[in-house]
Amino acid sequence: MKIQRKPKWLRIKLNQGRSLDYVKDLLNKYSLNTVCEAANCPNRMECFSKKTATFMILGKECSRNCKFCNVSHEKLEEVDLNEPENIANATLELGLEHVVITSVTRDDLPDGGAGHFVNVINAIKKKNKKIIVEVLIPDFQGDQGALNKVIQAKPQIINHNMETVKRLYGQVRSMAVYERSLEVLRHVKKMNKEIFTKSGIMVGLGEKETEVMKVIEDLREAGCDFLTIGQYLAPSKKHYPVIEYVLPETFEKYKEKALKIGFKFVASGPFVRSSYNAAEAMSSHKIK
């Protein structure tokens, strides 16, 4: 397969600045991981320069092997019981008003790590109740008891990414189930309508526009409030290849569709990622 060259709208100007080293030093101080580095996010320089980061809990190693993801899947680590307190301390030192907590998938744990998510949420709230907590969770293998733990901790936003269209699940994320992921978001709204739900998809993996529109419709039917759509960029030649670089006007078309059918906020563009500028994006909708 011929490798496509990145179009001009996908070329990033790197801006490191002093804040990048500050954030990295702080993460090292508390032995914390960020998805920014683990997933090789193209926006990490920009986010670090603004002293923001998305914390990744439950270790660096994932129990799944999705073909699009750069997170490692070697020997699974012991859960760090000091992590919740360390994240809460780092959140305060960074001056964050909106903190995003994500994780590797830990199918090996009895509750998939849900209880650890709860401990992190509680630790942050104990330090400062005004901080908006957004969690980006795995599907917990469809275990609603595990999901209920996170819901009962009352983060303001629960995010679970669909990642791609239904047809490509077998090729891109074979250990996930399309309907199961939709049910995660649907169940959150069933249990607590005050929690905002959020999801994200990547494009450029060979999907059709009609298939993207169907995911958007399915998410809204599940009660999803916020949506992110971004260009897939293969982390390496070993990962699932980029089939297409989607035009900016197509991203705009997806955004218009999503807003038309009732999404409260949509970020759609080549560089958009699930956690990218999360606080800035969510500020457009008043969260209390």
Give residue 74's pLDDT. Answer: 64
pLDDT band (50, 70, 90) for residue 41: low
Q: What is the DSSP letter of 26?
A: H
What single DSSP character describes residue 163?
B
Question: Between these two residues, 26 and 265, which has the higher pLDDT value?
Answer: 265
Query: Would you call 71 exposed, middle or buried from its count of C-beta atoms within 10 A (0-12, 13-18, 19+)?
Result: buried
- Please, which residues have CB within 8 angstroms of residue 281's CB and are 6 or more apart in sequence? 226, 228, 265, 267
Report if residue 155 sits inside a domain: yes
Report the range of poorest mean pLDDT among 184-188, 231-235, 252-256, 267-271: 231-235
* pLDDT tens for each residue of 219-259: 999 999 999 999 988 767 777 889 999 999 999 999 999 99
pLDDT digits (tens, 9 = 90+) for 51-81: 566 888 887 666 556 555 555 656 777 888 9
161 within a domain of the structure (yes/no): yes
| Class of residue 49 by CB neighbours under 10 A (exposed 0-12, middle 13-18, buried 19+) | middle
Q: Is residue 1 part of a domain?
A: no
**Is the residue at 5 inside a domain?**
no
CATH of the domain at 73: 3.20.20.70
Least trusted range by pLDDT, from 26-40, 161-175, 259-273: 26-40
- Tell me how far apart the alpha carbons of residues 228 and 202 are, in angstroms, rounded to a whole number: 8
SS3 at position 144: helix
Q: Is residue 82 part of a domain?
A: yes
Q: What is the average pLDDT score of the chain?
A: 84
> 129: buried, middle or exposed (CB in 10 Å: 19+, 13-18, 0-12)?
exposed
pLDDT for residue 258: 97
Range of the domain at 188: 13-282
Whether residue 7 is contained in a domain is answered as no
pTM of the model: 0.87
Write down the pLDDT at residue 1.
43
Say what angle helices 114-127 and 83-94 make with each other, to 10 degrees: 40
List, for residues 8-31, the tens digit of each pLDDT value: 656 555 454 445 677 778 778 887
Q: Does residue 4 belong to any structural domain of this protein?
A: no
Domain contains 65: yes
Q: What is the largest CA-CA distance in the chain?
A: 53
Residue written as tokens 């209880």?
Answer: 115
When divided into structural domains, the chain yields a total of 1
